[in-house]
Chains A and B, each alone.
Chain A
Amino acid sequence: MRKISLTITLILFFVISATLLGLIFYSPLPVLFQSLTNPEIQFAIMLSLITSVISTILCIVLAIPVAYALARYEFFGKRVVTLALTLPLTLPPLVAGIALLLFFGTTPWGKALENAGFGVIFTPLGIIVAEVFVNIPYMIRILRSAFFSINPRYEYVAKTLGCTDTGAFFQVALPMARHGLLAGAVITWSKAMGEFGAVLMLAGATTMRTETLPIALYLNISAGNLDLAVAAATILILISLITLCAVEYFDRDVHVF
């Protein structure tokens, strides 16, 4: 068994590494650097960075109270609420995208937002909305497990020492959940950088307007610009690698997956 399992492990390791390295080294380095200076790729990098950072911050701000509520309080319908909040985890992003498109495109809500100047459909704002919608369940789940693993008695003691309810949360529960928070933020951010399906549906794929890195990859491969597509893909691989290392580092006491 030892031999077989180790052999298969080794083979798989080589196949995966070779595939990814093959992609990274497909274009000679000068061509890769050339592509990275291409205005379209640079636009995509900037847009991806801006939208992913904003959507990650929104995810954190929204997920912290929700995760805390799910971990600490009992309320009517908690199971259903939990299910609904984490459903997007298993939902194909394309489906999430089309649901968002219908919500913002056909309901009075969406129309009102559009009229107020917050157009979501086929706009960069749509990218952020799609990323938050798809990624917030990860953030909620990671933070919920982080809060859940903290004995509420830490907060009880903090209250006897002079904290208000909110004070105990900010001074004790949140700092104690910091590893989960960091791991969740890194995962959410990297997933936002790579989000394709939901963004495509809601924000469209307009060159130099809603063109994030994955969209750039898709548009360029469709147009036959292999070098630009590879450049976008290389950046995405590097981001994945950094994420994995960061999560391994922060994940010592939080179980993310």
Chain B
Amino acid sequence: MFFNEVTTMLRIESLSITLGEFSVRDVSLEIRPGEYFIILGPTGAGKTVLLETIAGIHTPESGRIILGDKEITATEPRQRNIGMVYQDYMLFPHLTVGENIAFGLKLRKVSRDEQHTRVDEMYSLLEIGHLAKRYPGSLSGGEQQRVALARALVLKPEILLLDEPMSALDGRTRERMRRELSRIRKLTGTTIVQITHHFDEVFALADRIAIMRDGQIVQVGETSDVFLHPSDTFVAEFLGIGNLIRGTASKAGDIFRIIPERGPAFYAASGLAGEVVATLHAEDVILSHESFASSARNCLTGTVQELVPSGSTVRVILDAGFPLTALLTRESCRDLHLEPGCRVYATFKASAVHVIPVNSQE
């Protein structure tokens, strides 16, 4: 299997571990070099335990972890060269920002000069040089996040593990963080494995995603494949809240016009020109039988492909030239007499569309 060794960065084989009420059962995954891999699952699915086991914090009950061509199942965390950034950052409160970042370098007995150079590199990569002398307690969430990233990245890890990096941040900081991650990945080529419990902008960065439930991997695949072909209702429900549309954006007055690879153009309130991924929450799409006058910029027509009920809501999958998912309550769905084959209008605001560059030049 020589070929396999070249294309796999991290291989997890039938990994099982139970930790209190959380467990990981028979998980196998392969992560490729330079890949951005997202593991999505509800709270309590065992995502953090999986991440911590990859980092070497917990010893698995069975299974193997292979990094590159070395088995590391029993290797101490400090010898794995895997970086970890937690949701609540875990910056050491008794050390300054500079000391936090240099923490790992000191332990590795890196010379003082090199420590300086590498910490400075991180300051400029993450634009946190002005925080060097401050203590973590006085930083904002976004600043702490960047310091935590710097502390992990300064060691040039083979893999960076991220635990819910977006969930503690507010909207604007999230957007900045997403750009940050995209840039880091481009500049350092670090393989990133991230866990998250809900759909957000960061999905535009993901090459592949895995869906996890009750400690098991339910589905793995290319991001767009999983979005379009969820393997069961659980996955569908989880992903049903989002649309990812690839296309080309150009400026059109104050707003941006996006031409998808297939299908009609639509508008986004803000964004940038070039190759983009547009994200749109399914609950922001309004369906109707007649087109109606409103402040919403986008009104497309589409054919209902499939209705997927889950709980009190129904996911309506349209073919609008490109696949488009709308999330409706059961009542609305009944009142509209929707069924496969219906022609409907899909209306959504330009401000509900988030535009993310594919090949970030920032």
Contacts and interface: CB of A to CB of B under 8 A. Distances in A.
Interface of A: 151, 153-154, 156-164, 167, 171-172, 175-176, 178
B92 A176 contact: yes
A157 B94 contact: no
A175 B93 CA distance: 9
B56 interface: yes
Interface stretch (B103-111, B186-194, B291-299): B103-111
Interface in B81-126: 82-84, 86, 88, 90, 92-94, 103-104, 107-108
A160 B76 contact: no
Interface in B16-56: 52, 55-56
B107 A157 contact: no
Interface in B47-78: 52, 55-57, 76-78
B76 A157 contact: no
Given A154-B92, A156-B52, A159-B56, A164 B78 contact: yes
Contact of B84 (A156, A172, A178): A156
Contacts of A157: 84, 86, 90, 151
B80 interface: yes
Given A158-B103, A161-B104, A153 B78 contact: no
**What 8 A-B pairs have minimum CB-CB distances, sorted nearest first?**
A162-B107, A161-B104, A159-B77, A162-B78, A160-B84, A175-B94, A156-B57, A157-B90
Given A172-B92, A176-B92, A176-B94, 17 more contacts: A151-B90, A154-B90, A156-B52, A157-B84, A158-B103, A159-B78, A160-B55, A160-B77, A160-B80, A160-B82, A161-B103, A161-B151, A161-B155, A162-B78, A162-B107, A163-B107, A167-B107
Given A156-B57, A156-B84, A162 B108 contact: yes
Contacts of A172: 92
A237 B12 CA distance: 65
B78 A160 contact: yes
A171 B107 CA distance: 10
B79 to A, nearest CB: 9
27 contacts: A151-B88, A153-B86, A153-B90, A154-B90, A154-B92, A156-B52, A156-B57, A157-B84, A157-B86, A160-B55, A160-B56, A160-B57, A160-B78, A160-B82, A160-B84, A161-B151, A161-B152, A162-B103, A162-B104, A162-B107, A163-B107, A164-B76, A167-B107, A175-B94, A176-B93, A176-B94, A178-B94
Contacts of B94: 175-176, 178
A154 B151 CA distance: 13
Contacts of A162: 78, 103-104, 107-108, 155
Nearest to A150: B93
A41 to B, nearest CB: 42
Question: Chain A interface mostly helix, strand, loop or mixed?
Answer: helix
Given A151-B90, A153-B86, A176-B93, A161 B107 contact: yes
A156 B55 contact: yes
Contacts of B83: 160
Contacts of B55: 156, 160
A178 B258 CA distance: 57
A151 B152 CA distance: 18
A168 B104 CA distance: 11
Contacts of B107: 161-163, 167
B90 A159 contact: no
A247 B156 CA distance: 43
Contacts of A175: 92, 94
Contacts of A160: 55-57, 77-78, 80, 82-84, 152
Contacts of B80: 160
A92 B92 CA distance: 41
Contacts of B56: 159-160
A176 B90 CA distance: 12
Contacts of B93: 176
B100 to A, nearest CB: 9
Contacts of A156: 52, 55, 57, 77, 84, 90
B119 to A, nearest CB: 13
Contacts of B76: 159, 164
Contacts of A171: 103
A95 to B, nearest CB: 39
B318 to A, nearest CB: 43
Nearest to B82: A160
A158 B148 CA distance: 12
A184 to B, nearest CB: 17
A159 B92 contact: no
